[in-house]
Amino acid sequence: MCVLEREERVSAHQTSHNSGVLHAGIYYPPGSLKARLCREGIAAMYEFCERRGVAHERCGKVIVATGENELERLEELERRGRANGVPGLRRLDPGGIRELEPHAAGVAGLHSPETGIADFAAVARELAAELRSAGGAVALGSGVEGVEVRPRALRLRHARGELETGHALFCAGAWSDRMARAAGAPADPRIVPFRGAYLRLRPERRELVHSLIYPVPDPALPFLGIHLTRHTSGEVLVGPTALIAPGRDAYRLTRAGPRDLGATLAWPGTWRLMRRFWRTGATEVRHAASRRAFVAAARRYVPELSPADVEPAFAGIRAQALARDGSLLDDFAFSRTERALHVRNAPSPGATSAFAIARHVADEAERAFDL
């Protein structure tokens, strides 16, 4: 087995630019792939971190409803969580919220003790080491540029040469639609990159957050809203924002990719999405442009937070699949081409679910390729 990786290190993209949260499976519609693979994935991820000594912690999380108008959605989250088999869920009154998170405030909350944090970049490095020691290879700096289907094999043209293989699994994150198309799949869905910028609490203000504090998310969007999360390094992150990015690796907003931008703007789904969510888009532009507005979003449930408590951190780019009709694909999505399988949509909780996604793809490969 050989992994062809385009960058000079593993986990250079989403896997090392995220909130680092092990999700317990609260948000996802019962019966969805996300619900099932997140539940299976969190157990496998805790087990792997323990076995390989990767930093992690079952720190628990509190979802905070800040007004009566959010109570119905909080109830729906609790219902989904229970239907998905999330253990230990507990409703909180304002006093219960304060007991767990003394600086958070809301009219009601939901506590998930199984939710945790992990160093996902370290998980990826450990996996690469495991693969190498089992006789496999990880070829860095070997981005795949072309896929040719031959009668008995696939020929992959990459940055360092060519490789012939019986079968391939494509898991290319923000570039997954391009890889799938190169292998003969339809263009729908397209990946539209959503940039998520983070702030971090200044070290002397980290005590504002004990574990993980989340808002009640907007059910129309696949994003969870600006949250405050403790990282395994001890840092506390505030974020992320969610704004369409000018490039698939536009970690800095100034780093636009003309090809990526063209692809996003030429996709009919982008315009349909923008027509539908222009109000949300305007709020996100405000968060991206003004630290005060960004902090105000988090201050709704941590009232003591002020712009002086934070400093800029990093940004991640979500690989979010967008259908031609303008709908954001909520669930994980996979597809098949000749001799290949493709992961077409693996946004959050994709890191939590990684091992379960891998098993799902491996099972599918056994069936599809008669292995």
Nearer to ligand FAD, 106 or 350 (CB): 350
Nearer to ligand FAD, 75 or 331 (CB): 331
What torsion do the CA atoms of 23, 286, 75, 88 make, to the nearest 10 degrees? 30
CB of 356 to ligand FAD, least distance (A): 11
Q: Site for ligand FAD (CB under 6 A): how many residues?
A: 37
74 binds ligand FAD (CB under 6 A): no
116 binds ligand FAD (CB under 6 A): no
**H/E segment holding residue 6:** none
Spatial distance between the Cα atoms of 214 and 94, rounded to a whole number of angstroms:
15
- Residue from 1, 2, 7, 187 in contact with ligand FAD (CB under 6 A): 7
215 binds ligand FAD (CB under 6 A): no
CB of 182 to ligand FAD, least distance (A): 8
Spatial distance between the Cα atoms of 14 and 23, rounded to a whole number of angstroms:
16
Question: Which of the ranges 83-91, 200-208, 302-310, 317-325 carries the binding residues for ligand FAD, by CB under 6 A?
Answer: 317-325
CB of 234 to ligand FAD, least distance (A): 17
Binding mask 232-271 for ligand FAD (x = CB under 6 A): --------x-------------------------------
CB atoms under 10 Å from CB of 106, counted, come to: 25
- Residue from 37, 119, 347, 360 in contact with ligand FAD (CB under 6 A): 347
- Residue from 94, 113, 143, 217 in contact with ligand FAD (CB under 6 A): 143
Q: Is the dihedral of CA 18, 21, 24, 26 positive or negative?
A: negative
- Residue from 92, 348, 356, 360 in contact with ligand FAD (CB under 6 A): 348
Nearer to ligand FAD, 210 or 344 (CB): 344
Nearer to ligand FAD, 7 or 363 (CB): 7
User: What does the DSSP assignment read for 296-363?
Assistant: HHHHTTSTT--GGGEEEEEEEEEEEEE-TTSPBP-S-EEEEETTEEEEEE--TTTTTTHHHHHHHHHH
What torsion do the CA atoms of 120, 289, 321, 72 make, to the nearest 10 degrees? 90
Nearer to ligand FAD, 24 or 108 (CB): 24
Spatial distance between the Cα atoms of 309 and 200, rounded to a whole number of angstroms:
8
Contact yes or no for 204/236 (Cβ under 8 A): no
The angle that helices 268-276 and 278-289 make with each other, rounded to 10 degrees, is: 90
Question: Which of the ranges 7-15, 64-72, 269-277, 361-369 carries the binding residues for ligand FAD, by CB under 6 A?
Answer: 7-15
Nearer to ligand FAD, 106 or 349 (CB): 349
Nearer to ligand FAD, 108 or 342 (CB): 342
Nearer to ligand FAD, 15 or 327 (CB): 15
Query: Could you report how far apart the first and last alpha carbons of the chain are, in Å?
Result: 14
Within residues 147-186, the interface with ligand FAD by CB under 6 A covers 171-175, 179
Contact yes or no for 216/64 (Cβ under 8 A): yes
How many CA atoms are closer than 13 Å to the CA of 24, on its beta-carbon side?
27
CB of 69 to ligand FAD, least distance (A): 26
CB of 95 to ligand FAD, least distance (A): 28
> What type of residue sits at position 86?
V
Shortest CA distance to 190 belongs to which of 174, 203, 202? 174
| Interface with ligand FAD (CB under 6 A) | 4-7, 11-15, 17-21, 23, 143-144, 171-175, 179, 196, 240, 316-319, 343, 346-352
